[in-house]
Chain A
């Protein structure tokens, strides 16, 4: 009964076209149709943040966004962070500061931290904890995630200066 729709959006800088039922969630389009399996499915109930992607300058949980809502949108996933073989400062920070153990939450963490650092380039620990509160980690206890974000903030400030 429902008509499929063609949706075009930018994924990590490249235009993609997908044909989806209106009920298809963005996380499924990304993972199953576009084979971008960096964003993970954790809870499917918009609590855990593992599926976080950047959508038109917003951190969103892609399990709670319909793909049809993304016409003409600009979507960034973890696959878009590394440039020409060089890791993004956040990826470097999570590596060197041991900001992960199992790694399941990491793509969501990094994608969320990316937008946070765009909005607050030099956040305090308290600000990092407040603005990262939509991403759950069950391994680290968050200490090293905070350090990883601080590392990236410092590095990004140094490279943009």
Chain B
């Protein structure tokens, strides 16, 4: 399987990459880790005339914390997320999520920015970003803007990112100490996308829910924020009954596509189950 012919460009700075994007317009695609795009090009679902590789731009790499925010370069790989001391200590949800993505070889190449900007609702970072209240830095030749994750995903393979923009950074507010978290993912086998998955962050005071975020992977055309489920939990004691009720509300917004992983009814039920498991685990991890 060999892609259609294209020209390859390896700019060494963001401004150089942006000017290549402007020059080639619709003919160009940005190459991050290449583990979604290259398979699509091999299958000839994608046939860009120009490939702009972002791998040689040092400023797009790295993880740092400053002023209560974690800054992650968009070209940071899944493997780098997993081994990051900053994330292990301050944002373990992202480490837990990254460990469940595909397989080791793919995680050496796959990037957080590529995973997010691809706009695939089966990818794991979109729901993780919703649960963490992240935002994305998008740069164009005309300037930069910061867009919240909530609202960024507008359809399958469709986001607010414009064709002349490059995602340069992911910003995550450092979760308050004691925040409970979990990414519960059901997959048929290593390397497969989620049949269903749920990301949760949770702050408790005693048995009462102070704040909760629930986001769902591969349960519709975009990652879904389960707002009604969050509202039902917030400000109340968290019990097995309230968890089951919240899972029911989360299932209510699911509109999964039937495929080889199961029919819609099965996937909806599994999404509810993943939401329950993630909520229970987050509760056990949250300090009171």
Contacts and interface: CB of A to CB of B under 8 A. Distances in A.
Contacts of A2: 5-7
Given A64-B34, A64-B38, A133-B103, A58 B8 contact: no
Interface in A48-105: 49, 52, 58-61, 64-66, 68-69, 71
A69 B1 CA distance: 18
Contact of B105 (A5, A23, A61): A61
A46 B104 contact: no
A95 B258 CA distance: 45
Contacts of A155: none
A116 B8 CA distance: 31
B4 interface: yes
B39 to A, nearest CB: 6
Interface of B: 1-8, 10, 34-35, 38-39, 41-42, 51, 53, 55, 79, 102-106, 108-109, 190-191
A52 B55 contact: no
Given A45-B39, A58-B109, A64-B34, A71 B10 contact: yes
Contacts of B79: 58
- By size class, the interface of chain A is 20 to 34
Contacts of A59: 104-105, 108
B4 to A, nearest CB: 7
26 contacts: A1-B5, A2-B5, A2-B7, A3-B7, A5-B8, A21-B5, A23-B6, A24-B2, A46-B35, A46-B105, A46-B106, A47-B191, A52-B105, A59-B108, A60-B105, A61-B105, A64-B35, A64-B39, A64-B109, A66-B38, A69-B53, A69-B55, A133-B104, A134-B102, A134-B105, A134-B190
